[in-house]
Amino acid sequence: MAVYTHVSAEQIAQFLTRFDVGTLLSAKGIAEGVENSNYMIEASRGRFILTLYEKRVDPADLPFFLGLMNHLADAHLPVPRALEDRAGDTLHDLAGRKACLIQFLPGLSVSEPTLAQCKAVGRALARLHMASASFGMARTNSLTLPGWARLANATRAHADAVSAGLRALIDTSLANLGQAWPSDLPRCAIHADLFPDNVLLLGDDVTGLIDFYFACTDFAAYDLAVTLAAWAFSPDGAVHHDGRAAALVEGYESVRPLSVAEQAALPLLAQGAALRFTLTRLYDWVNTPAGALVTRKDPMAFARRLQFYRAASPATVCGQA
Amino acid sequence: MAVYTHVSAEQIAQFLTRFDVGTLLSAKGIAEGVENSNYMIEASRGRFILTLYEKRVDPADLPFFLGLMNHLADAHLPVPRALEDRAGDTLHDLAGRKACLIQFLPGLSVSEPTLAQCKAVGRALARLHMASASFGMARTNSLTLPGWARLANATRAHADAVSAGLRALIDTSLANLGQAWPSDLPRCAIHADLFPDNVLLLGDDVTGLIDFYFACTDFAAYDLAVTLAAWAFSPDGAVHHDGRAAALVEGYESVRPLSVAEQAALPLLAQGAALRFTLTRLYDWVNTPAGALVTRKDPMAFARRLQFYRAASPATVCGQA
């Protein structure tokens, strides 16, 4: 939520000369994206987001992320395009960081989505999965079972200090998921982090799907489970909004109906999604000093979702119980 | 350099209905302004900065700041206008803060100003002083001699730990300025903080004078001295750029020639300006934990300027020695 790498106006103006975007008119550091530094750029031929990739992003993953964004934009998804410079490159070096100039898309990240908005997000996610099936690159999901086990090991000693019983909840869930996690569901490139922050809306229309920096190759239905966990609860995870879940699934299935196996796997996939964010938030909570530049997010908000999904049927996950 | 108060898209959309600016299309928190929270707003009828005033700004001062901005905008200075809502109010309540919707101005804050840019900034500052002379409100400068003495007392025990000799430099300078500070120079509403960060430029044209939250009623020539201290040195204060200082004064005097008394007072006024930023930076340095949300600025960058000005003639301050 901050600009970590400062780039001067003169550096940005010089950088823009690589592209066919005209001259620089305005540049403001924006406080979005937990992982990277972002500037909102106005040039005489358009508006853009300049992203500088900070240490949490592995430069080796950037061709996958940027390639997927452009593949989806080519398929007319509302995904911002990574601009090619005159040499055809999308990935650049600026101020000691890998950097990219990305199309600006209008739209708002809502805090209290309406049912119509949830339905539109479900449709957009399904369209993303349909289009990404033809994307030629692959990236292993580093935040699935082996990654969860590593995070659980790294945080186990601190979990009960955050909340009594959290350690047992994580260990039990991890053991269950390790035994029962599916292996044969349809796979494609997935967003894997489609929270409201990463969706732009104007009214009921999705105008932007952004921040593909956790994208990877995994089950399409897992991506739906992540999106349900992100959209269908109160922020603290205490209240499940059945209507939002149902609208999201209805929108999704209007474009890409779930198979019987996908439907049956939803409770496990949703537990996995909730465990993933419980663990990454717990890791950051334990490793981020209070008052630091990054705002810590409460891991219990997703531990509560995990508890909800541990008791849920497929119909419950879909808000149709 | 961060967004301290989070406002949801829904709250911003609701807030905009008070104005005649159309519907909300985009809102991004921007990482500018050390003191306040700022959002860059696009609505269907224009672009704006939404500012939420944080605890360092006294709400009682806001009518002066916003009134001055609109007075200067009325006089065709490139100053962003604080928008009136349909009831004619510029100052509002939002998310527990005083808030204001401010016109967006294009332009860039440069890091390495050219001589033509320095001259343009000098002209713009003089025009500001000519126009502000007819502004009807007054605000005492809280960061002049009595304020400096308070800051010196609050930091005296820590000054030499920051840099050996800093305590003596501050105390000697404060004693000298206390005896010799002028009392009868021309006064008007001044910006008092016209650093490159607070000036927007396109090429050699000043397109924006922003961030009036230290504005007050004081000597016009003191404002010129602040601006010289801000623009005519390398960032660390070690190198004085005579050409930049000369260009700035030349631009200023092309609009508002300095009186003999103002010229003679410039070394003292410049010492005061350098002492002011030495002291506020030292205070923040001592009171801000390392790694906190606000980036600490090195007080020595202005202590070096103070030493330069203590040995300077009027011609030296103006880069004409």
**pLDDT tens by residue, A226-284:** 999 999 999 999 999 999 999 999 999 999 999 999 999 999 999 999 999 999 999 99
Interface of chain B toward chain A, CB-CB under 8 angstroms: 1-3, 8-10, 13, 24-32, 40, 42, 106-112, 200, 202, 289, 291-293
Q: Which of B10, B110, B111 sits opposite A111 (nearest CB)?
A: B10
| Whether the predicted pLDDT of B305 surpasses 70 | yes
Comparing B296 with B54, the larger pLDDT belongs to B54
pLDDT in tens, B267-289: 999 999 999 999 999 999 988 76
**Residue A273 and residue A306: Cα distance in Å, rounded?**
8
Comparing A15 with A293, the larger pLDDT belongs to A15
Torsion of CA B91, B93, B97, B103, to 10 degrees: -40
**Predicted local distance difference test score (pLDDT) of residue B31:** 83
**Residue A306 · residue A275 · CB < 8 Å:** yes
Residue contact A108–B42, C-beta within 8 A: no
Q: In Å, how far is A84's CA from the nearest CA of chain B?
A: 24
DSSP A288: S
**Predicted local distance difference test score (pLDDT) of residue A5:** 87
Residue contact B111–A9, C-beta within 8 A: yes
Q: Which residues, 6+ apart, have CB-to-CB distance to B205 below 8 Å?
A: B120
What is the ipTM metric for this complex?
0.89
Task: Classify A143 as helix, strand or coil.
Answer: coil
pLDDT in tens, A217-227: 999 999 999 99
Mutation target vs A (from B4, B14, B15, B30; most A CBs, 10 A cutoff): B30
pLDDT in tens, B111-153: 999 999 999 999 999 999 999 999 999 999 999 999 999 999 9
Residue contact B293–A291, C-beta within 8 A: yes
Retrieve residue B285's tokens.
């340095």
pLDDT in tens, A178-200: 999 999 999 999 999 999 999 99
Q: Which residues, 6+ apart, have CB-to-CB distance to B160 below 8 Å?
A: B166, B167
User: Which of the residue ranges B48-57, B116-125, B205-214, B255-264 would you say has the lowest mean pLDDT?
Assistant: B48-57
**Residue B23 and residue B15: Cα distance in Å, rounded?**
10
Contacts of B289 in chain A (CB under 8 A): 291
**Predicted local distance difference test score (pLDDT) of residue A78:** 98
Number of other residues whose CB lies within 10 A of the CB of residue A311:
8
Residue contact A24–B108, C-beta within 8 A: yes
User: Which of the residue ranges A116-120, B140-144, B293-297 would you say has the lowest mean pLDDT?
Assistant: B293-297
Q: Which of B9, B31, B109 sits opposite A109 (nearest CB)?
A: B9
In chain B, % of residues over pLDDT 70: 97
Rounded to 10°, the helix A145-162/A260-287 angle is 50
State mean pLDDT over B22-40: 89
Long-range contacts made by residues A286-291, C-beta under 8 angstroms, separation at least 24? A286/A155, A286/A158, A286/A162, A289/B291, A291/B289, A291/B291, A291/B292, A291/B293
Contacts of B30 in chain A (CB under 8 A): 28-31, 40
Q: Which residues, 6+ apart, have CB-to-CB distance to B300 below 8 Å?
A: B162, B163, B166, B236, B237
Q: What are phi and psi of A40, to 5 degrees?
A: -90, 125
Q: Which of B2, B9, B25 sits opposite A111 (nearest CB)?
A: B9
pLDDT in tens, A120-175: 999 999 999 999 999 999 999 999 999 999 999 999 999 999 999 999 999 999 99
| Whether the predicted pLDDT of B23 surpasses 90 | yes
Q: Which residues, 6+ apart, have CB-to-CB distance to B17 below 8 Å?
A: none
Work out the angle at residue B124's Cα, subtended by the Cα atoms of residues B60 and B140, and round it to the nearest 5 degrees. 25
Torsion of CA A105, A111, A117, A120, to 10 degrees: 50
Q: Which of B9, B31, B291 sits opposite A3 (nearest CB)?
A: B31
**Predicted local distance difference test score (pLDDT) of residue A7:** 94
**Residue B240 · residue B233 · CB < 8 Å:** yes
Residue contact B24–A108, C-beta within 8 A: yes
Residue contact A26–B106, C-beta within 8 A: yes
**Residue B308 and residue B236: Cα distance in Å, rounded?**
12
**Predicted local distance difference test score (pLDDT) of residue A1:** 47
Q: Which residues, 6+ apart, have CB-to-CB distance to B319 below 8 Å?
A: B232, B240, B241, B242, B243, B244, B245, B246, B247, B249
Residue contact B110–A9, C-beta within 8 A: yes
Distance from the first to the final alpha carbon of chain B: 38
Task: Classify A80 as helix, strand or coil.
Answer: coil
**Predicted local distance difference test score (pLDDT) of residue A112:** 95
B246's enclosing H/E stretch is: helix B242-255
**Residue A65 · residue A213 · CB < 8 Å:** yes
Mutation target vs B (from A23, A30, A52, A201; most B CBs, 10 A cutoff): A30
Comparing B321 with B242, the larger pLDDT belongs to B242
Interface of chain A toward chain B, CB-CB under 8 angstroms: 1-3, 8-10, 13, 24-32, 40, 42, 106-112, 200, 202, 289, 291-293
**Residue A45 and residue A38: Cα distance in Å, rounded?**
19
| Whether the predicted pLDDT of A114 surpasses 60 | yes
Nearest CA in chain A to B13: A108
Residue contact B9–A292, C-beta within 8 A: no
Rounded to 10°, the helix A260-287/A220-231 angle is 60
**Residue B163 and residue B151: Cα distance in Å, rounded?**
17
Mutation target vs A (from B1, B12, B28, B39; most A CBs, 10 A cutoff): B28
Rounded to 10°, the helix B300-310/B260-287 angle is 150
Res. B196 pLDDT band, cuts 50 70 90: very high
pLDDT in tens, A270-321: 999 999 999 999 999 988 766 555 567 899 999 999 999 999 999 999 999 8
Retrieve residue B242's tokens.
């005579």
Q: Which of A25, A30, A112 sits opposite B28 (nearest CB)?
A: A30
DSSP letters, B21-59, are S--EEEEEEE---SSSEEEEEEETTEEEEEEEE-TTS-G
β-bridge mates for residue B233, sequence order: B240
Contacts of B40 in chain A (CB under 8 A): 28, 30, 40
β-bridge mates for residue A47, sequence order: A42
| Whether the predicted pLDDT of A77 surpasses 80 | yes
Comparing B33 with A264, the larger pLDDT belongs to A264
Q: Which of B25, B31, B42 sits opposite A30 (nearest CB)?
A: B31
Residue type, B282: L
